[in-house]
Structure 1
Amino acid sequence: MSRPLLEGPGRVLTCLPARFMTDLADSLDTTRHACPLLDPFRERLQQEMIARSQQPPWALPDMLATRADLRLAWLEQLMHLWSPGQLALLHMSTRLAVVCGNQTGNIQLAMGNVLRQCRERLARREAFLRQRDMVQEAWTHAEKTLYRWRSGEFAAWSPAGRCYIALEELRWGPFGDAMRLSAPHERVRLKEMLRERATGLLATSVDAAPRTRHFYSRWLSTPSSAGLMDYKDTLSWLGAWSDGEHHPVSRSVTQTWQSVALGMPRLCSAARLVDALVEELFSEG
């Protein structure tokens, strides 16, 4: 039997619950087409999340797959159970607003109710954050996350994958809050610090100087390890939002089952990769 995802890759991903909730919100939009190759991963993760969140008997994978009303009800329960952060609430509010306008009857009423809750929580969360020292909390969050990278917590992923994982962890937490809500000059300072520190860690992971160029395969090669495919699938799921045209480096780093995007440099340094990943992830919110 395969090892549970939450005991493998999910064990080190603090952003996984928030990312899962946004994925669940996206699934309510029938005009969006998720990658079918990731369906087995999504089903495994969903089953584990059902067990972890102790859902009622109706929350069976087959029923959730076919009933939007049940997915919506589950999303509402998870919102109360997991207290999502600012980015998750922002994403869910945006998605539900789009989908709600295309519904009728009871499902529209139910969706409107969840949308209202999301917006109210988002307003309270942003008001709370603006009363705090977001920049200091961002520095602390960055230090802790980069330490986790440096100490080997993300070692099961490729060198570039480790960088991507660290940035995703930051994007969904206090660092990302500060990047979205702080003053412009503070955002510049945070971004420059992150570039410098992440470049050093990525370069060290392949015993290179920050601007030493290597063929892209050196950065994307995943080390052999137990549960290798689970780690690769988790990375693909996290980066499924990326588009080859607008986010070529994120796409190439996460979707390694595809050909690398045209915009991915074939010869690249740690500095070049980090610059691109930071811009691609933090320009997305």
Structure 2
Amino acid sequence: MNHGENEITLYELRKQHPQLTEKAIVDYVNGLEVLDDHLRFRNQINNSFLTRIWDSITARTAQRQQVIDINFTTALKTVSVWLQDIQLSQADSDIAIAHIAKKLRETRAGLMGLQQRHQELAEKVEAIDQSLEIFQIQVDNRFTELESRIQQVDARTLASTHLEQVFDKWQAGRLNTYPLLARLYLVIDELHWGDFGTYCRSRWKSSEVDNFIEQLVNKACSQMRQDLKGDISEITLSKEWLSPIIALPKELREVLGYLTDWASPQTTPVTWTIRNTALAESSVLTPNKIFPGVFSGQHAINHLMYEHKRRMQISYDY
């Protein structure tokens, strides 16, 4: 696959799964490590899939290497490139905007510490800090606008519209390239990152959110029943749910692996199993305490919704 074909594929993946863009922004933002006067990219920025997605977002091929030495000129260049990329990213979700705002404050504080220790860099630091300050104002304004929109009456309408749009996509068969368990996860994940998730986070534990969650579950049950062409409570062997994930093309398994990288076997075992199956990191098809030996459509909905609620409870986490 040549570079041009790869870019088209990534564009199509981001169009199909808009949460890929928002998650990549959060990961890239959090990849800048600010410790006193030491600024560097964490190892996660070298994740090959994240790098390809990020280059697709910013429309340029960046050759980023982890800053492993305390070279202050390099640190300034690191922040400069990071800022330019973030400005190109155009985050939309509340999660991504909140992470950017927080990291901008941390970065500016780190730069001030660097300036105090190395006066010869004062002019360069000041120039970058001015750029950071301007962008921070823009991000703060965007977050204020987002909060204002949430407080308006149409916030619930936006969430409802998003819910309908995502399930329309499922019903139209646009996710049929994925097996059913992955399909269900991707629907819930896309809702988490969009207007539906924004509304639920802003009104968590309210009756409105409870009603929305119930509506989501009902829609999932209805669509699952159609896709299974039968009873969603019918028990089948777990390998029948997991084996099709292993058979997916590499790029689709990478999408699943990337979008589930927040999961842990202790708190979100079904999501974690989807990730490990997609990445073939362990013998997940063997029945174990993490994933049961038998499974059903109803089990899939119940487990993934429970794990989604755990994820949603932590404000601005992903």
TM-score band, normalised by the shorter chain? 0.7 to 0.9
Q: Confirm or deny: 8 A CA contact 1:236 1:254 kept in the other structure.
A: yes
Counterpart Cα distance in 2 of 1:193 and 1:16: 25
Match of 2:44 among 6, 28, 34: 34
Q: Aligned residue for 1:250?
A: 271
- The higher relative CO (CA closer than 8 Å, separation ≥ 6) is in 1
Q: Aligned residue for 1:72?
A: 83
Q: Aligned residue for 2:227?
A: 205
Match of 2:292 among 252, 265, 284: 265
Q: Confirm or deny: 8 A CA contact 2:55 2:62 kept in the other structure.
A: yes
Q: Confirm or deny: 8 A CA contact 1:179 1:282 kept in the other structure.
A: no
DSSP-derived class of the 1:255 partner: helix
Q: Aligned residue for 2:310?
A: 283
What is the identity, as a one-letter code, of the residue corresponding to 1:85? S
Match of 1:93 among 87, 93, 101: 101
Q: Aligned residue for 1:189?
A: 211
Judge which range, 197-206 or 62-71, deviates more. Answer: 62-71
**Structure 1 unaligned spans of 5+:** none
Q: Aligned residue for 1:23?
A: 27
Q: Confirm or deny: 8 A CA contact 1:138 1:175 kept in the other structure.
A: yes
Matches within 5 A, 1:117-128: 117-128=138-149
Judge which range, 161-170 or 255-264, deviates more. Answer: 255-264
CA distance 1:147–1:61, shift in 2 (3 Å): same
Counterpart Cα distance in 2 of 1:50 and 1:230: 20
Q: Deviations over 1:86-108 (max 9, x none)?
A: 22212333555566666633399
CA distance 1:118–1:241, shift in 2 (3 Å): farther
Q: Confirm or deny: 8 A CA contact 1:158 1:223 kept in the other structure.
A: yes
Match of 1:175 among 175, 196, 220: 196
Q: Confirm or deny: 8 A CA contact 2:41 2:66 kept in the other structure.
A: no
DSSP-derived class of the 1:284 partner: helix
Instruction: State the identity as a percent.
Output: 19
**Structure 2 unaligned spans of 5+:** 34-39, 68-77, 115-124, 313-318
Q: Confirm or deny: 8 A CA contact 1:47 1:61 kept in the other structure.
A: yes
Counterpart Cα distance in 1 of 2:45 and 2:244: 21
Q: Aligned residue for 1:62?
A: 63
Q: Aligned residue for 1:162?
A: 183
Match of 1:12 among 10, 16, 25: 16
Q: Deviations over 1:13-44 (max 9, x none)?
A: 122322221121122136965397xx222232
Counterpart Cα distance in 2 of 1:84 and 1:240: 21
Judge which range, 192-201 or 131-140, deviates more. Answer: 131-140
Aligned positions, number: 272
Q: TM-score, normalised by structure 2?
A: 0.73
What is the identity, as a one-letter code, of the residue corresponding to 2:169? R
Judge which range, 160-169 or 113-122, deviates more. Answer: 113-122
Q: Confirm or deny: 8 A CA contact 2:24 2:50 kept in the other structure.
A: no
Higher radius of gyration, 1 or 2? 2
Q: Confirm or deny: 8 A CA contact 1:211 1:272 kept in the other structure.
A: yes
Q: Confirm or deny: 8 A CA contact 1:15 1:172 kept in the other structure.
A: yes
